[in-house]
Structure 1
């Protein structure tokens, strides 16, 4: 399987490392070809710019939420049947004190409505890049919570997560993305106010 990651930031690089460790081919696309190449170099992934053809069966949207609409516009009509992983937390970046999606909705739901032919999965938004890269939160293995309506799509994402040395937990249908985004929002605000570090966060203990 090939995993395409759109975005060359810290989350994108961490997910790329997980996918490579899981034995999959990885493609990283970014606006800046140099940044994409630099991000890819650490994991041995291929790189390119946004607008290049998507190679992946699984596509990870590792860009800030305000950029999602533009990216999906670039790839309109090319995402049918693909597993589209939304890692965003739709914060109001002007206040850092609220989410910008409806109270009964989520960024993932917005994305699914924009690309109804894709199989949208919410994942990786409740973990910081550092805990993805190290595979640990404190002394506990990092857990990736996964929500979606397509069972096969969730299984594909879980296989990448587990193959890369993390724990995957099915959090339910795509409706649960709202709760995952609220959890991600809380974790971000705690880190931004220095209540926790960016190498910490929430852990799931069974």
Structure 2
């Protein structure tokens, strides 16, 4: 059983919190204004907008030392909804890993909508959580709680793959915004 802290109480934070609990793990749910409350989890999920990462690093960076930090953000330029805000050869997760060198940063959940996490399915397929990271133990820990909740986890490779995961999520979001894909739908990985 894992002890998992989630920073963020929005749709994604609530959906992931439900998965954590469903898998028999302990969940601590914190909103971003809970600065006085200590993070207790060995795994910390950042279920916040990309724009909140800098503040989290500044206020809670020391608390994240030695922890598995799961970045679910997508660095979308919401002013234009036409591109990502990170360099073409980088990712939000890579930037976060540089800011938190004593943490094991993993990219996961960013290609999922909250509805597909809550229902456990994308159409007739089991929801797949794509996971990227450089630490095998960290990816295994995330895989364990995802699978304990009845979802499928796929190792997408090193943290370098976060760029592709963020691009895939951006495509999915733009399709949903254009009503070509449901916000309760998404892409499914079929083995």
TM-score tier, shorter chain, comes to over 0.9
Q: Distance in 2 between matches of 1:77 and 1:67?
A: 16
Contact kept in structure 1, 2:7 and 2:32, CA below 8 Å: no
- Partner residue in 2 for 1:132: 117
Moved over 2 A (4+): none
Deviation at 1:31, TM superposition (A): 3.5
Q: Distance in 1 between matches of 2:83 and 2:109?
A: 19
Q: Distance in 1 between matches of 2:142 and 2:55?
A: 24
Show structure 2 runs of 5+ residues with no match: none
Distance 1:50 1:29, change over 3 A: farther
Contact kept in structure 2, 1:51 and 1:74, CA below 8 Å: no
Contact kept in structure 1, 2:8 and 2:31, CA below 8 Å: yes
Deviation at 1:16, TM superposition (A): 0.4
Contact kept in structure 1, 2:130 and 2:155, CA below 8 Å: yes
Show structure 1 runs of 5+ residues with no match: 33-48
- How many residue pairs were aligned? 190
Contact kept in structure 2, 1:60 and 1:86, CA below 8 Å: yes
> CA RMSD of the aligned region, Å?
0.8
**Alignment partner of 2:62: what SS?**
coil
- Partner residue in 2 for 1:40: none
Deviation at 1:71, TM superposition (A): 1.3
